[in-house]
Structure 1
Amino acid sequence: MFREFRYTAYRLETLQRYDVSYEQDEFARFLAGQSRGEFPGIADWCDTVRAAVVAGKRMHRVHVVVEPLSDYVRFECGWAYEHTVAAGEDVRLVTVSGDDWPTGLPHHDYWLFDSSRLVAMYYDEAGRFVSGELISEPEKVVQANLWRDAAVAASVPYRRYADHLQPSTP
């Protein structure tokens, strides 16, 4: 779908921890206070983003993040989003505290391609990706568009958010 979309690819992220195999070594380095090393998974994603942007497409995401930030979200901000934003991805954040979830936003992840193709993303309790499901029911696709619009309206651009992060964030 990342090669086939014509205009926009949008992602809603809601988890505070993703257990992604290609990030494990880098996440361990981050937790140990070491410097960022080679990060092939993010490098590949940045290539995907750059290619889309050069082709005139838009890639954007909103991550609902709970403050104080989890170690994983701090890692994602400093070691992933910094680079994907530089590659051209519009990354935005909605901040919440505790159980104060934004009204009207779901507690699950999805991708929405060209505002018409919806892929629900399923994760286990540890944040490991389990599966994706292409959803074709029009009412669910429309709902995902409404969630996207609400999330974008409630969000701030990553760079603006990053300006206010603690100096200790790598």
Structure 2
Amino acid sequence: MLSETELGDLLTGSGREAFRFELRDRYNSEVGKEPYRRWRTGEPDDHAWHRPWMERVSADVAAGKAWRRVRIVSVPVSDYTRYGIAIGRLSVQAGEDIRYLDRAGAERLGLAPYDAWLLDETRLVRLHFDDADDTFTGAEVVTDPETVTRHLKWRDLAWRCAEPLETFAASL
């Protein structure tokens, strides 16, 4: 299992594309607790904690790498999902393409029921979380061609069916 740091290194080292399936209704990380609290209470946030991600995405996109993500969310959306939309706008400004798909639609499509990254169409990185407290517990790299191909098909299906962030946000 990869640690969070090792996962970050793997994402940084991928070449042409990084695609994320994001399925959890909530993520619990130390770095995200205070920004989420500030957002909920309407306090200002300079987003310094998010700047390294935005800089990474921006530099990669300028160099020709694609960063894409489909967030599968429960409807009606939670405050946490609304927060994700607000922060997602910053990532979109940096060059990441983020789309949303409601959970019922994703289930009808038969998409994978877990979070994962697809890297350069050759590697699947399945993410693991503690269901009791929503914390990241590790990631496993899968290179089996059949498994990767199945996830590529799910990626393409999810991408076609999902709405761009702003379209989804406008529907709320």
Name the CA distance, whole Å, in 1 between partners of 2:167 and 2:61: 21
Aligned pair count reads 162
Deviation per residue, 1:28-83 (Å, 9 max, x gap): 11222x134132332111111101101011000000111111121111111x1010
Alignment of 1:50-61 (within 5 A): 50-61=58-69
2:145 to 110, 115, 138: 138
Alignment of 1:92-111 (within 5 A): 92-96=99-103, 101-111=107-117
Identify if the C-alpha distance between structure 1 residues 36 and 69 changes in structure 2 by more than 3 Å, giving closer, same or farther: farther
Name the % identity.
Answer: 30
Which residue is 2:57 aligned to?
Answer: 49
Q: TM-score, normalised by structure 1?
A: 0.89
Q: TM-score, normalised by structure 2?
A: 0.88
Deviation per residue, 1:78-111 (Å, 9 max, x gap): 1x101000111000000235x9723221210000
Which residue is 1:28 aligned to?
Answer: 37
Which residue is 2:128 aligned to?
Answer: 122
- Structure 2 segments unaligned to the other structure (5+ residues): 1-9
CA contact 1:93–1:157 (8 Å) conserved in 2: yes
Deviation per residue, 1:133-164 (Å, 9 max, x gap): 01121111111111111110110111211223
Name the CA distance, whole Å, in 1 between partners of 2:129 and 2:138: 7
Identify if the C-alpha distance between structure 1 residues 23 and 49 changes in structure 2 by more than 3 Å, giving closer, same or farther: same
Q: Which structure has the highest helix share of the two? A: 2
My pick for the range that moved more, 108-117 or 88-97, is 88-97
Name the CA distance, whole Å, in 2 between partners of 1:48 and 1:100: 29
Identify if the C-alpha distance between structure 1 residues 65 and 113 changes in structure 2 by more than 3 Å, giving closer, same or farther: same
> Partner letter of residue 127 of structure 2?
M
Which residue is 1:19 aligned to?
Answer: 28
> Partner letter of residue 130 of structure 1?
T
Name the CA distance, whole Å, in 1 between partners of 2:145 and 2:95: 30
Q: Which secondary structure state, in structure 2, belongs to the residue aligned with residue 41 of structure 1?
A: coil
Which residue is 2:164 aligned to?
Answer: 157
> Partner letter of residue 156 of structure 2?
D
- Large movers: runs of 4+ above 4 Å: none
CA contact 1:7–1:57 (8 Å) conserved in 2: yes
Which residue is 2:85 aligned to?
Answer: 77
Which residue is 2:12 aligned to?
Answer: 3
Q: Which secondary structure state, in structure 2, belongs to the residue aligned with residue 67 of structure 1?
A: coil
> Partner letter of residue 106 of structure 1?
A
Q: CA RMSD in A?
A: 1.6
